[in-house]
Every structure is written in C-alpha cells, then in structure tokens.
Amino acid sequence: MHTVSQTATEVVAETVTDYPHRRVGILGGTFNPPHLGHLIMGQQVGDQLGLDEVRFMPDAQPPHVDEKTAIAASDRVNMVQAAIVDNPLFRLETAEIKRGGKSYTFDTMKVLKAAHPDTQYYFIIGGDMVDYLHTWYRIDDLLKLVTFVGIKRTGYPTTSQYPVIWVDAPLIDISSTQIRKKISHGHTVRYLVPDAVAAYIEEHHLYEQQD
Ligand code: ATP
C-alpha cells in the first residue's frame, strides 16, 4: 500500500520491482502543463480497462523545439508529480526524461518491456494522435510491445487503420496550448488544471511571457 507522503518517483521504483505481472497504462505527453483532460483520460482508461496502474510519462522535449513554450523538463516533471500524487492509481514514469533528447516511443517501450517482459502495456493516446500512428517510428514493431488505447478528442475522428481500443471518456476540450495562452493573457486556469499545478505555475511564473 502506498501512502500519499511518498513521492511519485519513489512509488514507481517500488512498483516495478514488487509486481511483475501487471497491466500498466502509459500516458506519454509533454505535459506543458498537465491538465484535467490528462487526468480524466488516465482515470477513465484505468477504470474501464481495469488497469493496475497508469503512468504519466513526460517526454524530453529539446528546448529549441518551440522557444516560446519551452520550460525546464524539471518543471514539467514537478507539475505532473503535483497533479498525480494524491491518486493511488497514478505513477510518474521518468524513463524518457532520464534518457534525455528525443525518444521514440518504440525505443522507450522496448526498454520498459525488456525490464518487465510479463507486464502488459497499454499506450494511451488522444484522438488527435490516432490518425498519425502510421507516421510513428517502427509502428508495426511497437504494436507488438503495446496495445494502443484511444480517447476521443473534440474535432477528431474515432477511426484508425491500426488496432486501437477506444475508451468512452467524456469529451474534454482542454489543451496545454489553451492553458498557456490563458495564463499569458492574465486569465484564470482554475478548474482546468489541478489546484496544485495552478499554484506551481503561479509560484514559478510560468507561461507569463508568451503572446
Ligand atoms: P499541446 O496543446 O501543448 O499540444 P496537449 O494538451 O495535447 O498539449 P500533451 O501533453 O501533448 O497535451 O498530450 C499528451 C496526450 O494526451 C496526447 O496523446 C494527447 O493527444 C492527449 N490529450 C491531451 N489533452 C486531451 C484531451 N483534452 N482529450 C483527449 N486527449 C487529450
């Protein structure tokens, strides 16, 4: 049993050694910042597929990808941690952040699967990404490592040329882009991100300088 006083990072380390036969959801993203849409996705997939845990896996975005929105990876990790720490289903997966640089999902999942071959991985993606699966690096090999789970997203189709389990979650029209924009215009993001994330953003003056 995990206590909320443990950090999410500590819980990951404990989990992977304690339980070899797990069904684990992976929600990869930039989380710049994490928002209620991400948490609802994780919770709905975890619940509907009966997963043992759902891991939020921030990517290691190189800062030059978009100078306007680039923030330190550590800030994204801290915000994810703040967002998930009170949910016993949720964990932080730092594999990509630790490796640094651009990570292909195939490479990351190969490493995770090799470390825990008995774990069944469910890779959770928003409906905006499902249509682009054919562009993913080594998609056919990745499909042997994970089962894809799609979450409907406003304005995107729910069809796919690849096997995807569609989970019926409420459509939440929130994006990190929208949140960054609101903050830069001095608008509130209350109820769009968890209170702890809003507090972190305010304390660290994130996203205030964009247009
Ligand atoms: P940005 O606006 O910066 O592109 P984002 O809101 O899409 O960010 P990401 O961290 O890039 O957030 O998303 C991680 C994953 O969550 C992706 O698979 C994305 O499609 C999905 N996702 C994010 N928000 C939603 C949402 N409101 N509904 C469904 N899927 C979502």
Before 33, cis peptide (omega within 30)?
yes
- With beta carbons less than 8 A apart as the criterion, state whether 59 and 94 touch: no
Can you give the pLDDT at residue 50? 97
C-alpha 18 – ligand 1 centre gap (Å) = 31
Can you give the pLDDT at residue 47? 97
Q: What is the pLDDT of residues 110-166, one digit of tens each?
A: 999 999 999 999 999 999 899 899 999 999 999 999 999 999 888 888 888 899 999
* Phi and psi based region of residue 153 (left: phi greater than 0; alpha: psi -120 to 50; beta: remaining): beta
Is this model's pTM higher than 0.90 or not? Answer: no
Residue 120's contacts (CB-CB under 8 Å, 6 or more residues apart) are: 22, 23, 24, 147
What's the CA gap between 203 and 78, in Å, rounded? 12
What's the CA gap between 181 and 189, in Å, rounded? 10
Can you give the pLDDT at residue 59? 94
**Residue 13 banded pLDDT, cuts 50, 70, 90:** very low
From 155, 183, 151, 164, select the one nearest 38 (Cα to Cα): 151
Residue 66's contacts (CB-CB under 8 Å, 6 or more residues apart) are: none
Can you give the pLDDT at residue 64? 60
- Tell me the domain boundaries of the chain: 5-172
User: Nearest C-alpha to atom 28 of ligand 1 is from which residue?
Assistant: 153
User: Nearest C-alpha to atom 21 of ligand 1 is from which residue?
Assistant: 126
Residue 71's contacts (CB-CB under 8 Å, 6 or more residues apart) are: 32, 206, 207
Architecture of domain 5-172: 3-Layer(aba) Sandwich (3.40)
Residue 210 confidence (pLDDT) above 90? no
ipTM of the complex: 0.97
Q: What is the pLDDT of residues 14-33, one digit of tens each?
A: 444 455 589 999 999 999 99
Is residue 79 lining ligand 1, measured as CB closer than 6 Å? no
Is residue 131 lining ligand 1, measured as CB closer than 6 Å? no
Residue 63 confidence (pLDDT) above 60? no
Can you give the pLDDT at residue 6? 39
- With beta carbons less than 8 A apart as the criterion, state whether 102 and 60 touch: yes
Please give the number of the atom of ligand 1 that sits closest to the Cα of 30: 10
Rounded to an integer, the average pLDDT of 52-72 is 80
Q: What is the pLDDT of residues 159-196, one digit of tens each?
A: 888 999 999 888 899 999 999 999 999 999 999 999 99
Rounded to an integer, the average pLDDT of 62-85 is 83
Can you give the pLDDT at residue 205? 95
C-alpha 156 – ligand 1 centre gap (Å) = 12
Is residue 106 lining ligand 1, measured as CB closer than 6 Å? no
8-state DSSP, 119: P
**Residue 3 banded pLDDT, cuts 50, 70, 90:** very low
What's the CA gap between 205 and 209, in Å, rounded? 9
Is residue 194 lining ligand 1, measured as CB closer than 6 Å? no
Helices 73-84, 36-48: inter-axial angle, 10-degree rounding: 50
- The string of DSSP letters for 146-204 reads EEEEEE--TT-----SS-EEEE--------HHHHHHHHHTT---BTTB-HHHHHHHHHT
How many CA atoms lie less than 13 Å away from 101 in the CB half-sphere? 4
Can you give the pLDDT at residue 155? 85
